[in-house]
């Protein structure tokens, strides 16, 4: 009986110890695996291959927590601006017909460099830097002004 009790205790302790090791190493090891977005302060985002973005089109990308509007003009040039209107934070869009940036909420317009050209927006949109590396479009943080 005493022996059985001892074996029983030892089994529980041994198993418990192993379980404990597991419950220690599992979180630690998964913690070490970098998440999909590898850092908190996103410095640049890959917008995909040039070929996948036809001229005179646009798309919204998530630059960390900030939506960014990537535009490819009719002539094939790229431009990226913060997609949040400086008036009341609506999301702006690229107008294929007029080839400018337009905010639907109050009809504000910006040119493709993000300058506010009509309507209520009080400030230009932040312009992001575009780099083409290996036929892929990389968008990186706007240079701080001042």
Smaller CB separation from another protein, 112 or 141: 141
Among 48, 53, 119, 124, binds another protein (CB under 8 A): 119
Per-residue DSSP letters for 83-98?
Answer: -B-TTT-PBPEEETTT
Contact 92, 111 (CB under 8 A): no
By CB under 8 A, the residues from 58 to 117 that bind another protein are 62, 65, 67, 88-91, 104-107
Smaller CB separation from another protein, 27 or 76: 27
Other beta carbons less than 10 A from residue 44's beta carbon: 14
d(C-alpha 4, C-alpha 53), whole Å: 72
Tell me how many residues contact another protein (CB under 8 A): 38
Question: Does 54 participate in binding another protein (rule CB under 8 A)?
Answer: no
Question: Does 32 participate in binding another protein (rule CB under 8 A)?
Answer: yes
Provide, rounded to whole angstroms, the least separation between the CB of residue 48 and another protein: 20
d(C-alpha 127, C-alpha 111), whole Å: 11
Question: Does 120 participate in binding another protein (rule CB under 8 A)?
Answer: yes
Question: Does 21 participate in binding another protein (rule CB under 8 A)?
Answer: no
In 3D space, the residue among 88, 90, 114 whose CA is nearest the CA of residue 100 turns out to be 114
């Amino acid at each position: 009986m005493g022996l059985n009790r001892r074996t029983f205790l030892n089994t529980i302790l041994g198993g418990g110890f192993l379980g404990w090791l597991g419950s220690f190493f599992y979180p630690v090891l998964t913690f070490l695996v970098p998440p999909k977005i590898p850092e908190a302060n996103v410095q640049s985002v890959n917008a995909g291959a040039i070929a996948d973005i036809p001229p005179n089109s646009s798309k919204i990308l998530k630059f960390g927590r900030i939506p960014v509007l990537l535009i490819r003009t009719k002539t094939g040039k790229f431009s990226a601006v913060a997609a949040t209107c400086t008036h009341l934070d609506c999301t702006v869009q690229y107008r294929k017909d007029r080839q400018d940036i337009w905010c639907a909420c109050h009809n504000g317009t910006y040119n493709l460099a993000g300058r506010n050209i009509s309507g209520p927006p009080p400030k230009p949109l932040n312009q992001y830097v575009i780099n083409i590396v290996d036929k892929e479009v990389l968008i990186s943080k706007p240079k701080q002004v001042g």
